[in-house]
Amino acid sequence: MNLSLRDTGGGLLLVPQFTLAADTGKGMRPSFTPAAPPAEGERLFAYLREQADQRHHPVAAGQFGAHMQVSLSNDGPVTFWLRVAPGSGA
């Protein structure tokens, strides 16, 4: 936990997943109204990818809007959920 991604020589995988914005508080089906419109989400994901490519190597990314199957094995003492408040400018 005391080393950065760059320090360890690790890679970065970016997965666009709008379903993380699902509102499941009411009814039988999730609502995706909290999510950005698809064009805005795609623009933001492309920007994130550009920034990551400038700072890290290697960087891999999923395709925005595609059906993807991703599996993950956490290997470490903790898992962090990173969340930025809307309108924070971060």
The count of domains in the chain is 1
| 45 Cβ contact list (under 8 Å, min separation 6) | 14, 16, 61, 64
For residue 35, being part of any structural domain is answered with yes
Residue 24, pLDDT above cutoff 90: no
For residue 56, being part of any structural domain is answered with yes
Supply the pLDDT for residue 22. 76
Catalytic residues: 17-19
Structural domain of residue 9, as residue ranges? 5-22+30-61
Q: Which helix (H) or strand (E) holds 1?
A: none
For residue 90, being part of any structural domain is answered with no
**What are the structure tokens assigned to 29, written together?**
């089906």
For residue 13, being part of any structural domain is answered with yes
For residue 40, being part of any structural domain is answered with yes
* HSE value, Cβ hemisphere, 13 Å, CA-based, for 59: 15
For residue 71, being part of any structural domain is answered with no
In the three-class reduction of DSSP (H, G, I as helix; E, B as strand; rest coil), residue 5 is classed as: helix
Rounded to an integer, the average pLDDT of 2-8 is 87
Where residue 43 falls (left for φ over 0; alpha for ψ -120 to 50; beta otherwise) is alpha
pLDDT band at 78 (very low <50, low <70, confident <90, very high): confident
Predicted TM-score of the model (pTM): 0.68
